[in-house]
Structure 1
C-alpha cells in the first residue's frame, strides 16, 4: 500500500511504515490547495493539522482506506463524511498523553507559585518575595472535566501530590482509580480549587466554558486548558480574572492560534489577556515533546498493523 504524508513527521515514520508493508510518500511541503488532487490513488494519508479533511478534500481520493491523524484530536476531520465512505480513522492519543500530562502539571505548579511572573520580575531587577508568595497543591481539590487518555494521564500524576482529584465525564461511568473520585458536574462547581479541562472539541463542547459556566463555581478557581482553544471563551476568562473570581489561568490553547490572522476584536481580547500577571500562555505544545514526536509514529503504525491484519 502507498500512503501520502502531508505534514512534518519524525524520521522514524517511513521505516516503521515499511516494516508493515506500506510505502510512505513524504511530502511535508505540499501546499494545502494541492493535497486534494495528489490524493488520487493513495491507500492512506497521514495528517497533522495542515488541512481540514472533508468531502471537498477527498473528492479525488478514489482508493483511500485510511486517514491517520498524527496526534490525539480529530476535530480537523469530517468524521461523519469519512465514515460514510468506509474510510478508517486512526489517531494516536496514547502517543502524547504523557507529554500533555507532564506539561499540565508544570502549568499547575507555575500558576500556583507565580513562577513565570517572578522570573520576569527578577530579570527586571525586582526582588519581590511577598508579591510572589505561592500556594501549595497539598490539600487542594483539583477538578477535571473529561477523563479520556489526557485527563486520566494528568490525574494519575497529580493524585500523588496530596490533593483531592475529582472528575466529571459525561460519557464515562464507573471510574475507579485509587485516589480519584468520579462526581457530578455540580460537585466540580461546589468543591474545585483548580479546574483543568480535557475534552475534545465538538459542537457540544465548543465554548462550553463561558461566562455562565464559570459563574457557577462557589469559590475563586485557577483555570487550566490544554484541550482545544475553542472550548473556552477568552472573553469569559478575562471577565472572571478581572472580577477576581478566577485566581489565574494557564492556557496552552486559544481560540485562534494563527496570531497573524487576528481580527481587530481578537487582537484587543488577546492584549487584555496578556496584560494579566496571573496568566500563563504556551503555544499548543502540551503534547509536543521530543519523545511524543516519535511515540506518535509508533502508536499510529501499531494501530495500522492491527487494522490491516483484521
Structure 2
C-alpha cells in the first residue's frame, strides 16, 4: 500500500513499513492544505495529532484503507465516518502504556515528597526540613478511573508500594486480579486517597470532574491526570484545591495546552494554579519517552500487518 506519514515519528517507522512491502512517504512538515490536496493518492495515513481527521479531510481520502494513530487518544478522529466507510483504525496504546504508568508513579512520589519544592529551595540556600516533610504512599488507597492499557499498567506498577488498588471502568467487567480490585465508582469516591485518571476524551468524559463530583468524594485526595485535560477545567481544580477537596495534583495534560490561545479567564486561572506548591505539571509527555517513541512504531506496524495479511 501507499502510506503517508504526516507527523514527526521515530524514523524506524519507514524501514518497518518498507520491509512489509509498502511505499512510504514521510512528510512530517506537511500542512493541512497539502494533505487535502494529495490524500486521495494514499491507502494509509500515519498520524499523531497535527490535524483533525474530520469529514472534510476523510471525504477526500477516497482510497483510504486505514489510519494508524501513533498514540492512544482518538478524540480528533471521526470514528463514525471511518466505520461507515470500513476504514480500519489502529492506535498504539500498548506502545506507551509503560511510559504513562511510570510517569504517573514518578509524579505522585514527587508530589508526596515535595521533591520539586525542596530542590528549588536548596538551590537557593534554604534548608527547611519541616517545611518539606512528605507523605508515604504505603497504606494509601489508590483509585483508578479507566482500566484500559494505561490504567492496567499503572496498577501493576503500584504492586510493590503496599497500597490498596481499586479500579472503576464503565465499559469493562471481570478484570479483577492480584493487581487490582474491581469496584463501582461510588466505592472509589468513598475510599480513595489518590485518584488516577485513565479515560479517553469523549462527550461523556469531557468536564466529567465538576466541582460537585469532586466534592462528593468522602475525603480529601490527590489527583493524577495523564489522560486528557478536558476532563477537568482550571477553575474546578482551583476551587477544589482552595477548599481542601484536593490535597494536590499531578497534571500532564491541561484543558488548553496552547498557552498563546488562553483567553483572559484561562490565563488568570492557570496562573493561580501554577503558583501552587502542591501542583506538578509536565507538558503532555507522560507517554513520550525515548523507548515508547520506538515501541509505538512496532505496535502500529504489527497491527497493520495483522489486518492486511
Same fold (TM over 0.5): yes
Which SS does the other structure have where 1:172 is aligned?
A: coil
* Alpha-carbon offset, residue 201 of structure 1: 0.4
Partner of 1:158: 158
Name the TM-score, length of structure 2 as normaliser.
0.98
Over residues 39-59 of structure 1, what are the superposed CA-to-partner deviations in whole Å (9 max), with x where a residue is unaligned?
011010111000100110123
Q: Output aligned runs, 1:4-153, within 5 Å.
A: 4-153=4-153
Over residues 226-284 of structure 1, what are the superposed CA-to-partner deviations in whole Å (9 max), with x where a residue is unaligned?
00010112211110111122111110000111111111111111101101111000000
* Alpha-carbon offset, residue 175 of structure 1: 1.5
* Alpha-carbon offset, residue 33 of structure 1: 2.5
- Partners of 2:212 and 2:74 in 1: CA distance: 27
Which SS does the other structure have where 2:224 is aligned?
A: strand
Over residues 173-229 of structure 1, what are the superposed CA-to-partner deviations in whole Å (9 max), with x where a residue is unaligned?
111210411111111111000011000000000011110110011111011100001
* Alpha-carbon offset, residue 34 of structure 1: 2.0
Name the TM-score, length of structure 1 as normaliser.
0.98
Q: List runs of 5+ in structure 1 lacking aligned partners.
A: none
Which SS does the other structure have where 1:10 is aligned?
A: coil
* Alpha-carbon offset, residue 120 of structure 1: 1.3
Which SS does the other structure have where 2:158 is aligned?
A: helix
Q: Output aligned runs, 1:146-225, within 5 Å.
A: 146-225=146-225
Over residues 49-105 of structure 1, what are the superposed CA-to-partner deviations in whole Å (9 max), with x where a residue is unaligned?
001001101232111111110111111101001211111111110000001000011
- Partners of 2:38 and 2:282 in 1: CA distance: 34
> Is the 1:70–1:297 contact (alpha carbons within 8 Å) kept by the matching residues of 2?
yes
Q: Which moved more, 1:257-266 or 1:199-208?
A: 257-266
- Partners of 1:211 and 1:37 in 2: CA distance: 45
> Is the 1:36–1:57 contact (alpha carbons within 8 Å) kept by the matching residues of 2?
yes
- Partners of 2:193 and 2:176 in 1: CA distance: 22
* Alpha-carbon offset, residue 20 of structure 1: 1.2
Q: Which moved more, 1:79-88 or 1:284-293?
A: 79-88
Which SS does the other structure have where 1:40 is aligned?
A: helix
Q: Which moved more, 1:196-205 or 1:25-34?
A: 25-34
Which SS does the other structure have where 1:277 is aligned?
A: coil
> Is the 2:234–2:266 contact (alpha carbons within 8 Å) kept by the matching residues of 1?
no
Partner of 1:302: 302
Number of residue-to-residue matches in the alignment = 309
CA RMSD, Structure 1 to Structure 2 (Å): 0.9
Runs ≥4 in structure 1, deviation > 3 angstroms?
none
Partner of 1:291: 291
> Is the 1:36–1:59 contact (alpha carbons within 8 Å) kept by the matching residues of 2?
no
Partner of 1:246: 246
Q: List runs of 5+ in structure 2 lacking aligned partners.
A: none
> Is the 1:54–1:82 contact (alpha carbons within 8 Å) kept by the matching residues of 2?
no
CA distance change for structure 1 residues 179 and 97 in 2, over 3 Å: closer, same or farther?
closer
> Is the 2:142–2:165 contact (alpha carbons within 8 Å) kept by the matching residues of 1?
yes
